[in-house]
């Protein structure tokens, strides 16, 4: 791993990059071309707009797929600010950027000098030189905050407190609730929510969902936390994710989705907002979901904070069906290149499932378990005598198609899927943890 200083750079490998800034910071990204200017609002990735082509923000973690960026983009600038607008950067620990590549390989680390008067810090940039991508450490601050960002990058910053906002924002210290804050209202199907949702799903060709009390309870807890802090976030201040709120109710799932929204005043307005954008509509109408839960909470000023949860409950049969879909998609990629399909190995399956379960239970994401065991150790512990072992892992993907596509877009994972020597495979999937879903493929020969 390379320790960077301001102005230092390091070449990047192909594949998806993960950038993480732990601590009480909000992470943002600006996507630009040769002009150094954003092309439009869609080039600014931040807590209220967490995705763009080739970029995805989840809490303190930003993933960048350079090959997936919009046409003409040749630079991504990583920006941080205080997660609590009332706390200046000078009162926070010096931020540290950790950069990893495919296979969780540590690539670089950068800790700039502690900011003084600055309220926003340009931490680093990923940029293209010829056909290669590099990372450069920056450490440039702005005392005038987002206004400075707007001036230099062409971002149009507006405030519209009446508009609904959907986000996946990291938790932060904010105003405490009083007055109406904490007045929780779970939304039953009798006041129209379920009918509106299932009508939209029917138009999309998806089966109806039913309400589940455990999902509604988890939604209540999460919405209460957002209203108390008056911030949209996928995590509570203690780091508990919305998905962990779900599993803490005893609800086990195979796949999960969420809407975190503020602004709508009625269930009808909430559903209308969820249908107003392609990504949000895709979640509401996803045919994989069969159950839902909804809650809203008023903050001290009367603004409503909504949490909707969508899930398919766990069952052994559904897990086997999901693993079969992953296998079919994986074998389709192999046969397309003239390779023989893989066969299911029950021992590898047991080891893969155990690793996914372990990543959720012990809150880690790595090929190396906290006790130091590696994929081949886990395969052997499950009773496998195969001499060659490979492993793919992934987290956060909601479907077999999404996870296999992600692996195929990553050179290291793709190499495992298309390795001619491999003959057998096991697949594991567990729901929960900070990222919601944890996938494992274990290959053997």
DSSP 125-185: EEEEETTEEEEEEEEEEETTHHHHHHHHH-------TTS-EE--PPP---PPP-TTTTEEE
- Centroid of chain to Cα 274: 19
In angstroms, the Cα distances linking 44 to 64, 73, 230, 287, 389 are 13, 12, 22, 30, 41
Which is it for strands 291-298 and 210-211: parallel, antiparallel or unpaired?
Answer: parallel
Q: What tokens were used for 247? A: 């599993």
Q: Are 135 and 125 in contact (CB under 8 A)?
A: yes
Q: What is the pLDDT of residue 164?
A: 42
Angle at 346 between CA 342 and CA 351, to 5 degrees: 100
Region of residue 206 (left: phi > 0; alpha: psi -120 to 50; beta: else): beta
Q: What is the pLDDT of residue 300?
A: 85
Q: What is the pLDDT of residue 303?
A: 87
For residues 208 and 206, give the distance between their C-alpha atoms in angstroms, rounded to a whole number: 7
Q: Are 329 and 400 in contact (CB under 8 A)?
A: yes
> Which residues, other chains included, contact 32 with Cβ-Cβ below 8 Å and sequence gap of 6+?
38, 39, 43, 73, 74, 75, 76, 77, 153
For residues 165 and 49, give the distance between their C-alpha atoms in angstroms, rounded to a whole number: 9
pTM (two decimals): 0.59
> Which residues, other chains included, contact 155 with Cβ-Cβ below 8 Å and sequence gap of 6+?
30, 38, 41, 44, 146, 149
Q: Please name every residue paired with 362 in a beta bridge, in sequence order, or none if there are none.
A: none
Q: What tokens were used for 282? A: 């895709």
108 burial type by CB count under 10 A (0-12 exposed, 13-18 middle, 19+ buried): buried
pLDDT in tens for each of the 445 residues of the chain? 789 887 788 999 989 999 999 888 889 999 988 667 788 878 888 877 889 999 999 888 999 999 999 998 999 999 998 877 667 788 888 899 999 999 889 999 999 887 776 778 889 999 988 789 999 888 877 766 665 666 667 765 544 433 344 433 333 222 222 222 333 343 333 368 999 999 999 999 999 999 998 898 899 899 988 988 888 888 887 788 999 999 988 899 999 999 999 989 889 999 999 999 898 999 999 999 999 999 998 888 888 999 999 999 999 999 999 999 999 999 999 999 999 999 999 999 999 999 999 999 999 999 999 999 999 999 999 999 999 999 999 999 999 999 999 999 999 999 999 999 999 999 999 999 989 999 999 999 9
To the nearest 10 degrees (0 to 180), the angle between helices 316-336 and 400-408 is 30
For residues 435 and 432, give the distance between their C-alpha atoms in angstroms, rounded to a whole number: 7
> Which residues, other chains included, contact 25 with Cβ-Cβ below 8 Å and sequence gap of 6+?
60, 80, 81, 82, 83, 92, 95, 170
Task: For residue 294, give the 3-state DSSP assignment.
Answer: strand
The helices-and-strands tally (H runs, E runs) of the chain is 11, 23
Q: Are 407 and 415 in contact (CB under 8 A)?
A: no
CA-nearest of 177, 189, 310 to 243 is 310
Q: What is the pLDDT of residue 151?
A: 62
Order across the sheet with 389-395: list the strands.
343-344, 424-432, 436-444, 389-395
Length reported for the chain: 445
CA-nearest of 390, 388, 382 to 353 is 382
Task: Please say whether the dihedral angle defined by the alpha carbons of residues 98, 101, 106 and 109, taken in this order, is positive or negative.
Answer: negative
For residues 125 and 135, give the distance between their C-alpha atoms in angstroms, rounded to a whole number: 6
Q: Are 199 and 324 in contact (CB under 8 A)?
A: no
């Amino acid at each position: 791993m390379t320790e960077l200083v301001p102005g230092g750079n390091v070449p990047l490998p192909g594949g998806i990059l993960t950038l993480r800034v732990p601590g009480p910071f909000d992470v943002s990204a600006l996507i630009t071309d040769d002009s150094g200017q954003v092309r439009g609002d869609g080039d600014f990735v931040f807590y209220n707009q967490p995705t763009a082509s080739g970029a995805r923000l989840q809490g303190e973690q930003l993933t960048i797929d350079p090959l997936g960026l919009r046409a003409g983009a040749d630079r991504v600038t990583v920006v941080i600010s205080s997660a609590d607008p009332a706390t200046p950067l000078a009162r926070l620990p010096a931020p540290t950027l950790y950069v990893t590549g495919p296979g969780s390989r540590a690539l670089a680390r950068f800790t700039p000098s502690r900011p003084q008067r600055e309220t926003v810090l340009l931490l680093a940039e990923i940029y293209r030189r010829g056909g290669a991508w590099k990372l450069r450490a920056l450490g440039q601050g702005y005392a005038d905050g987002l206004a400075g960002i707007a001036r230099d990058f062409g971002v149009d910053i507006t405030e519209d407190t009446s508009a609904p906002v959907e986000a996946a924002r990291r938790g932060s210290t904010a105003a405490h609730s009083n007055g109406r804050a904490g007045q929780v209202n779970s939304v039953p199907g009798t006041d129209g929510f379920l009918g509106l949702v299932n009508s939209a799903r029917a138009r999309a060709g998806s089966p109806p969902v039913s309400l589940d009390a455990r999902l509604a309870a988890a939604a209540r807890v999460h919405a209460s936390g957002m209203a108390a802090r008056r911030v949209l976030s996928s995590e509570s201040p203690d780091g508990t994710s919305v998905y962990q709120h779900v599993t803490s109710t005893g609800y086990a799932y195979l796949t999960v989705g969420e809407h975190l929204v503020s602004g709508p005043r009625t269930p009808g307005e909430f559903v209308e907002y969820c249908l107003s954008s392609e990504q949000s509509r895709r979640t509401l109408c996803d045919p994989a979901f069969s159950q839902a839960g909804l809650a809203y909470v008023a903050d001290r000023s009367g603004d409503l904070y909504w949490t909707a949860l969508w899930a398919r409950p766990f069952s052994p049969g559904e897990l086997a069906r999901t693993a079969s879909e992953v296998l079919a998609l994986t074998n389709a990629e192999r046969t397309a290149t003239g390779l023989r399909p893989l066969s299911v190995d029950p021992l590898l399956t047991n080891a893969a499932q155990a690793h996914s379960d372990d990543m959720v239970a012990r809150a880690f994401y790595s090929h190396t378990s906290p006790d130091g065991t590696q994929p081949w150790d886990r395969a052997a512990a499950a009773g496998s005598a195969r001499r060659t072992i490979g492993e793919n892992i992934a987290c956060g993907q909601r479907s077999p198609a999404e996870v296999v596509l992600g692996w195929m877009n990553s050179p290291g994972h793709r190499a495992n899927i298309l390795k001619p020597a491999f003959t057998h495979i096991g697949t594991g999937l567990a729901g929960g943890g900070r990222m919601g879903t944890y996938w494992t493929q274990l290959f053997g020969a």
